[in-house]
Amino acid sequence: MHNRLLMNQHTLKKNYYFQGRGLHTGTYAHMKVLPAPADSGIIFRRTDLRGKPVIEALAENVSNTARSTTISHKDTVAVTIEHIMSALTGMGVDNAVIELDNIEVPILDGSARLYVEAFLKDGLQDQGVPRRYIDIPQSLEIRDDRSGSWVRIEPAAAPSADITVDFNSKILGIQSAHWDLGTDYAHEIGVCRTFVFFHEIEYLFRNNLIKGGDVDNAIVIVENPVNEEQLSSISSLFNLPGLKITDEGYLNNLQLHFPDECGRHKLLDLLGDLRLSGGYLNARITAYKPGHSINTKAAKALRALLK
């Protein structure tokens, strides 16, 4: 067994506060991330609803995967949970309660950076109880023949994840990203922001899908030729005059942290979605064209296999 696996459970040392708009619903939420007892896992609590109902962050509670991961239990819903789930996982937090006073987790800067910076500053609380790694009895593969996506989970001596993304985009090309116990999640994956193609933005707005989107929280890829009229229409949509297209083919609203930031963000999402398997996977994960739908299906299949 890998030495790094002989580790105790950890929770946060204090309460953390975040606030902002949700990317998809546009609703403003205040969020608290709180320490939790050993063996309690990750739980979302809706403080704005009567009785403050909770939802366990488990794959069987996934109710929607249209452009983000939503979990629900009866009438209680939490939208876009993947970035905070990824941050807790990447930073080694076993147990936490996430309190929300609205339906959607704030998008913040489109990455897990603000969570990671907050947890890093204080370190974690060792809970003196061994971490329960999820060892899998056999390999598992989930495929989507329509998109060509697949996620494979195989038994391993230590956890790792390798992904390849291919959007058939001349700007992005084919990008891959890797994570294992030696990876500096905070600086190499946690800071990588979500992204969208320019041609999708108008459609998404018309279909009420990115009401909270602004150009501080997404990388915008300009795949197809864009005229001045389209640029100024997006400028006014985001209330940001003077948007331009860089030589690399991105909107100039922000600077990339890495040339393959989009691929790394897909890895960030995968780590968050697979945490819905109920803990830390001691497995080798490989994925081609991962997305919330196939990621969470893999977590569900894994939960079923373990039962």
Give the span between the Cα atoms of 182 and 205, in whole angstroms: 40
SS3 at position 192 = coil
Residues 6+ apart with CB under 8 A from 306: 134, 136, 277, 278
Structural contact between residues 32 and 98, judged by C-beta atoms closer than 8 angstroms: yes
What is the distance between the alpha carbons of residues 144 and 293, in angstroms, rounded to a whole number? 9
Catalytic residue among 10, 83, 265, 292: 292
DSSP state of 194: P
**What does the chain come to in residues?**
307
* Other beta carbons less than 10 A from residue 163's beta carbon: 24
Of 213, 174, 188, 207, the C-alpha closest to 271 is 188
Q: Where are the alpha helices (DSSP H) in the chain?
A: 82-91, 113-122, 185-188, 198-206, 228-237, 261-274, 292-306
Angle between the N-to-C axes of helices 292-306 and 261-274, in degrees from 0 to 180, rounded to the nearest 10: 30
292 as an active site residue: the answer is yes
**Structure tokens given for 224:** 């197809």
**Would you please indicate which residues are annotated as catalytic (active-site) residues?**
292
